Amino acid sequence: MATFDISGIVQALHEARHHWRRIQSRSNEPGNREFPSRNALSAIIENLKGVLFPMRLGPPDLRQESEDFHVAHTLDDALHALLQQVKRELAYNATLVAGEPVDVDQQALTAVRSFAAALPAIRTLLDSDVLAAYQGDPAARSVDEVLLCYPGVLAMIHYRLAHQLYELGLPLLARIVAELAHSATGIDIHPGARIGAGFFIDHGTGVVIGETAVIGERVRVYQAVTLGAKRFPADADGNLQKGQPRHPVVEDDVVIYAGATILGRITLGKGAVIGGNVWLTHDVPPGGRVAQAESREGALANGIATA
């Protein structure tokens, strides 16, 4: 029978954990789990999907006559579970900031109530995203197919829920929710990004949207599009400055084709069209077209700006 040095490995792992906690100035005192649980949040989000779209993303045996009962029961469970995760993030945040003691329980309850109250508006925004996908893809046979199958829609469900958490001052929870979709779809949307109604990500794999990106209404992007930062400003000590606007502003009705890389705090004007595989670091006026052209002369003759 095979044997393993379990005791030695356990002891070595113990020492590695405690070394990490010492260099991170964290307590080694016995206590409960400090951080939110990724597994718990995954279950919460699955329940919330069934709350938002009960007859499509809820339980397979659900009937319309019991729809409201299911939504009420599932929502109550999800919100109570979310409350515990919010308390963990707020309690951890309180340890990082010196000052007056914080009433974590009351703050958490207020945040979860605000999150719950936003769910109808989130459903409306998601309806606009589903319609944009259906209307923008000739291969889509129904809105139900879009909701059930399209990775871009799944990513947007997670994003819209995560963004609400982000706005409520819960960035860790928000990031976990967003990363669950990233893992499943290959679409990376930071929950801090601001995205208007009717957003459609076609195909989706490899799309990256940064934290300070601002996207208007009825925008369409294809796979492998990046809305990223051109540079990362640092302070006098060389530390990255966080939270600075560094990602693009995309106005209404813009289309960005596959593989385009849009970097920096630039503006793509309303109705602009960005061609595939373009590398872009400058503003584009409303209605402008940017493409990789076979020749600069041919592009200029056709009114196309080369990137």
Q: What ranges do the domains of the chain cover? A: 37-187, 193-233+241-307
Confidence (pLDDT) at 35:
87
Instruction: Compute the distance between CA of residue 177 and CA of residue 157 in angstroms, rounded to an integer.
Output: 10
What confidence score (pLDDT) does residue 83 get? Answer: 98
CA proximity to 88, closest of 115, 55, 111, 116: 111
Alpha-carbon distance of 247 to 178, in angstroms, equals 18
**Pairing of β 255-256 and β 220-222:** parallel
* pTM score, whole prediction: 0.88
Instruction: Determine contact, residues 72/54, Cβ cutoff 8 Å.
Output: no
Helices (H), ranges, the chain: 6-23, 38-52, 54-57, 67-96, 104-117, 119-136, 143-149, 151-167, 171-185, 296-301
Closest CA to 165 of 150, 175, 155: 175
Distance CA 266, CA 214 (A): 10
Those residues of the chain that have pLDDT short of 50 are 294-304, 306
Angle at 230 between CA 229 and CA 236, to 5 degrees: 95
Give φ, ψ of 129 to 5 degrees.
-65, -40
Given this model, what pLDDT does residue 105 score? 95
pLDDT of residue 249: 98
At 75, list the tokens: 């929502």
CATH topology of domain 37-187: serine acetyltransferase, domain 1 (1.10.3130)
Give the model's pLDDT for residue 141: 96
Beta carbons within 10 angstroms of residue 4's beta carbon: 7
At residue 33, the pLDDT reads 64
Which structure tokens are listed for 290? Answer: 């940017």
Read off the tokens for 171.
Answer: 């960035």
Tokens describing residue 122: 């989130």
Sign of the torsion formed by the C-alpha atoms of 120, 122, 123 and 125:
positive
pLDDT at residue 100 in the model: 73
* Predicted local confidence at residue 21, as pLDDT: 84
In single-letter form, the type of residue at position 219 comes to: V
In terms of DSSP bridges, do strands 208-209 and 279-280 run parallel, antiparallel, or are they unpaired?
unpaired
Query: Selecting from 2.160.10.10, 3.10.20.90, 3.30.300.30, 1.10.10.60, what CATH number does the domain 193-233+241-307 have?
Result: 2.160.10.10
